[in-house]
Structure 1
Amino acid sequence: MKKLILIVFIGFITLSCSKNDDTSRTNEYLPEQNFDTGSTINTNFPQYSSLQFPGNHEVIEEYGLNGIVVYYSGSSYLAFELSDPNHALQTCSKLTIEGVIATCGCSDTNQYDILTGQAQDGTTGQYTLKPYFVEVSGTIIRVYNN
């Protein structure tokens, strides 16, 4: 009897701890876009050499929905989607970067910090910037979302 109670208790704990995080993170404005930059972002290449130095970023338009931004903080690389996460995809929802602020071209001019992905004061909507995975191996920065 003790074994049965123990099995039921462990089963209950296991089932109660599992949850589907996908539904809580799904953004209806940004469809999933699977990509992998592979070895194309190499800081030895002139177009990406600024990523060797802290505080610099590069916009790479070939990946993501409207491109990606890769930022080097000095201790790590961060990558985010360049589409306003609080708008349906349209021409004005493409973000532009000035300093560390990404700004939407739509009439509400939503703004986001590319260091944290967080929305700035005055931004409308519930979503932060969509982050992408980053791996670094020597001079290669791999950004992917799959």
Structure 2
Amino acid sequence: MKKYFFLLSILFLLGCDKEAFQNNNPYLPNYPVNLNINLSLPQYSILQFPGNALYIDSSGQGILGIIVFNTGNGYVAYDAACPNQALSSCSTMTLSGIDAICPCDDTRYSLFSGQAQGMEYPMKRYRVEQLDAISLRVYN
């Protein structure tokens, strides 16, 4: 019996992925993202400093572009589409310090967590891999 318990425990532990994001949102489709960012280029250099965020409007990346944020302990990336609204002309979020604001309803989302108080869905998060001191890869 201990043998079966041990095997089940191993399978359970191997099945867990610490980087799994719950991006099940009925408002936001799953579009592919594979974006390389060179932090030494002038348009991305602001991301070298903690507390700074940048909206990247790169065609074919995410739904309405990508927001990348330097938390001070690493980087996080989110889709720029409002997560609690159907896609419309006002769905592209804007940056305000450490928050992203949905212009459809003026909801403020924290860039540290992607959450907004009282809202059902958080911002759609993407994985970020720091390749070296000046290179990031944002992907899903």
Sequence identity, in percent? Answer: 39
* Structure-to-structure mapping, 1:5-20, within 5 angstroms: 10=5, 13=8
Distance in 1 between residues matched to 2:106 and 2:45, nearest whole Å: 30
Aligned to 2:50: 54
SS at structure 1 position matched to 2:55: strand
Residue 59 of structure 2 is aligned to residue 65 of structure 1: no
Report the AA paired with residue 133 of structure 1: R
| 5+ long unaligned stretches in structure 1 | none
Whose Rg is larger?
A: 1
Q: Is the alpha carbon distance of 1:25 and 1:71 closer, same or farther for their aligned partners in structure 2, counting shifts above 3 Å?
A: closer
| 1:128 alignment partner in structure 2 | 122
| Counterpart residue number, 1:43 | 39
CA displacement at 1:52 relative to structure 2:
1.2
Report Cα offsets for 1:95-114 as digits up to 9, x if no partner. 111111111111x2222011
Q: Which amino acid aligns with 2:114?
A: G
- The aligned counterpart of 1:117 is 114
Distance in 2, Cα, partners of 1:25 & 1:133: 12
Q: How well do the aligned residues superpose, as a CA RMSD in angstroms?
A: 2.7
Q: Which residue of 1 aligns with 2:92?
A: 94
Q: Which runs of 5+ in 2 are unaligned?
A: none
| Partner secondary structure for residue 51 of structure 1 | helix
The secondary structure found in structure 2 opposite 1:91 is: coil
Normalized per residue, the structure richer in strand is: 2
Closer, same or farther: CA 27–111 of 1 in aligned 2, 3 Å? same
Report the TM-score, using the length of structure 2 for normalisation. Answer: 0.80
> How far apart in 2 are the matches of 1:138 and 1:6?
47
The code of the aligned residue for 1:90 comes to S
The letter of the residue matching 2:125 is: P
Instruction: Tell me the TM-score normalized by structure 1.
Output: 0.77
In the alignment, the residues of structure 2 paired with residue 84 and residue 131 of structure 1 have an alpha-carbon distance, to the nearest angstrom, of 12
